[in-house]
């Protein structure tokens, strides 16, 4: 009790649990979307496009907090899967507008189902009230700390 703060105090923090659980969660989600030819970042890009960020690739990069070159790679792969289209802006031919295809929306829906499956798995040991309260807390934090 006269201890300085140790392991128990670290485990009590939000940041420690977010970090460790985030890694576990991402790993499980990745395992489920792998069969679709996707990584979690692909799902993130699909979601950003679906949310209406039909913007230029540079804008997407800053919204997702990744390097522009990564958007190129992700978009290349999604394009090969027929999930997105690139259309040159006729008013500024440097710009490429990314947009979801029907197949892209279908893939996104499959990602959502994968995420919901992982959710069920992760929160299986929680009561309904606990699940609700956790979900709300995370959404609130997400709205405050994440762009868009």
Partner DNA sequence: TATTGTTATACTCTATAACTATA
Partner DNA sequence: TATAGTTATAGAGTATAACAATA
Interacting residues of 57 by C-beta distance below 8 A, sequence separation 6+: 68, 71, 72, 75, 96, 98
The listed partner (DNA, a second copy, none) that binds 77, CB under 5 to 8 Å by sort, is none
Q: Which residues bind DNA (CB under 7 A)?
A: 30, 39, 41, 56-59, 65-73, 75-76, 86, 91-97
Which conformational region is residue 75 in: left (phi greater than 0), alpha (psi within -120 to 50 degrees), or beta? alpha
Q: Binding to a second copy by residue 2, rule CB under 8 A?
A: no
Tokens 């201890």 found at: 3
Of 10, 4, 22, which Cα lies nearest the Cα of 138? 22
Which conformational region is residue 50 in: left (phi greater than 0), alpha (psi within -120 to 50 degrees), or beta? alpha
Question: Contact with a second copy (CB under 8 A): which of 2, 47, 77, 83?
Answer: 47
> Which stretch of DSSP H or E encloses residue 6?
none
Q: Binding to a second copy by residue 5, rule CB under 8 A?
A: yes
- In the bound state with a second copy, the residue whose beta carbon lies nearer, of 72 and 146, is 146
The contact pattern for a second copy, residues 74-113, with x = CB under 8 A and - = no contact, is -------------------------------xx-xx-xxx
- Positions touching a second copy (CB under 8 A) are 4-26, 28-29, 40, 43-44, 46-48, 50-51, 105-106, 108-109, 111-113, 115-116, 118-119, 122-123, 125-126, 130, 133-142, 144-146
């Amino acid at each position: 009790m006269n201890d300085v703060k140790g392991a128990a105090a670290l485990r009590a923090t939000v940041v420690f649990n977010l970090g460790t659980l985030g890694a576990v969660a991402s790993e499980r989600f990745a395992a489920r979307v792998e069969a679709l030819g996707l990584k979690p970042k692909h799902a993130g890009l699909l979601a950003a496009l679906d949310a209406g960020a039909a913007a230029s690739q540079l804008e997407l990069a800053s919204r997702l907090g990744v390097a522009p070159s990564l958007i190129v790679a992700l978009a290349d792969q999604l394009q090969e899967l027929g999930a997105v289209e690139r259309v040159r802006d006729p008013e500024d031919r440097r710009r490429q507008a990314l947009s979801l295809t029907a197949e892209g929306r279908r893939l996104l829906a499959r990602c959502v189902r994968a995420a919901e499956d992982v959710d069920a798995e992760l929160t299986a040991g929680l009561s309904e009230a606990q699940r609700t309260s956790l979900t709300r807390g995370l959404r609130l934090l997400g709205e405050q700390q994440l762009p868009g």
